[in-house]
Amino acid sequence: MRHTLRIVALLVLVALGGGAYWYFVKQGGTIDTLLAGTFVPSPGGASAGKPPAGAPPGGMPPMPVEAVPVRVGAVSRTVTAVGSLLSNESVVIRPEVAGKIAEIAFQEGQAVKKGAVLVRLDDSIARATLAQAQASIAFSRAELNRADELYRQKTGPARNKEQAQAKLQADEAAIQLAKAQLEKMTLVAPFDGVLGLRKVSVGDVVAAGKDIVNLEAIDTLKLDFRVPELYLPAVKAGQTLQVAVDAFAGRSFEGKVIAIDPLVDVNGRAVAVRARVANADGSLRPGLFARVSLTIDTQPNAVLVLEQSIVAFGNKQFVFKVVDGKAVQAPVTLGGRRNAEVEIAEGLKPGDMVVTAGQLKIRDGAPVAVINAKPAGS
């Protein structure tokens, strides 16, 4: 065992001696250059013991790095969610009374105005009822006039006059009822919109409440989505949002928050939000799946750096600034990230030069030389 250790020690001494001979004799090195670590060998020892050009006396040469000034720009904090588009107004046209369909006055998919006639039911019975009530009221008026004349001449009792008057009022009510029943035989559009597909045909006998056709107002759409309860203090009516749908890939639609449900869902711990999205060209349709990007707030003068500028040490974040040709390690507080950039909430100011490449080769206070990559083809 001791014999083996002696052999290993002898070999180490021989290697050290050979290295020293090569450095000091063959290459012309010196103790100063060895300690400073700046010796660069050259053939024939012409530059032996001399530091490279541009190196500070007795120190390391500047380390080449890439650095760019921080960018100042607007940063928006957004929340992403998914939701569904709804009609601004939606109704299914249904009759209030039973009857036979006599006329369908619309085309499927047609845009209609408020008050436009859609369906007429057979109103022959309603018209006959109205005519009967009108004939009865004419007789009641004549009876009331005779009873009133006899009462003024004191030849008729007051009771006859009161009975005739009550009969007239009953007939007037019967006329109002007959007119209301007649009006219900005609179905009209309650608002401007686009009709869907009808579910009946002419001649069908429909019961009260039977679905006939749906009417949708789609010039403006509603958008319902949910956000986590964490964002409840930040979400407010009037905030803008961007909407994307799979049917129109690459196209974005703008909307605005109009209402926030005061009740938080206890199951998902989410807040229901309703927005309104303009749809003047009618591209969007109710029921589409939507991806929502809600802008919560905007920082107009945020300090931004590239993501590769950030260096992590433990649970802290740093960047290297270039100040007077030296690297200065600066702790920073990060904000949001977007498009390969990071917002710096604290630690940097406009005009600072930040190292973007070469951080692993430098330390705080080390001399650096900014050598940015040239654009391709330059």
Element (H, E) at 292: strand 289-306
* pLDDT tens column, 7-20: 767 777 767 776 66
DSSP 8-class letter at 337: E
Tell me the C-alpha distance between 355 and 326, whole Å.
11
**Position 375 in a domain:** no
Identify the domain boundary among 265, 281, 299: 299
* pLDDT tens column, 172-189: 888 889 999 999 999 999
Position 46 scores a pLDDT of: 40
* pLDDT tens column, 64-74: 888 899 888 88
Say yes or no: 150 and 229 in one domain: no
CATH number of the CATH domain containing 150: 1.10.287
Q: How many domains does the chain have?
A: 5
**Position 45 in a domain:** yes
**Position 145 in a domain:** yes
Answer yes or no: is pLDDT of 312 > 60: yes
**Position 16 in a domain:** yes
Print the domain residue range for 42: 2-52
Tell me the C-alpha distance between 178 and 183, whole Å.
9
* pLDDT tens column, 235-262: 999 999 999 999 998 899 999 999 999 9
CATH number of the CATH domain containing 69: 2.40.420.20
DSSP 8-class letter at 25: I
In a 3-state reduction of DSSP, which class is residue 196? coil
Q: Yes or no: say if 304 and 112 are a contact pair by the CB < 8 Å rule.
A: no
Measured from the Cβ of residue 251, the count of other Cβ atoms closer than 10 Å reads 10
Tell me the C-alpha distance between 76 and 292, whole Å.
15
Say yes or no: 205 and 101 in one domain: yes
Query: What are φ and ψ of residue 341, in 5° steps?
Result: -120, 155
**Position 160 in a domain:** yes
Residue at token pair 């069908």:
204
Give the C-alpha distances (Å, rounded to integers) separating 228 from 80, 141, 243.
10, 70, 18
**Position 267 in a domain:** yes
* pLDDT tens column, 108-141: 999 999 999 999 999 999 999 888 888 888 888 8
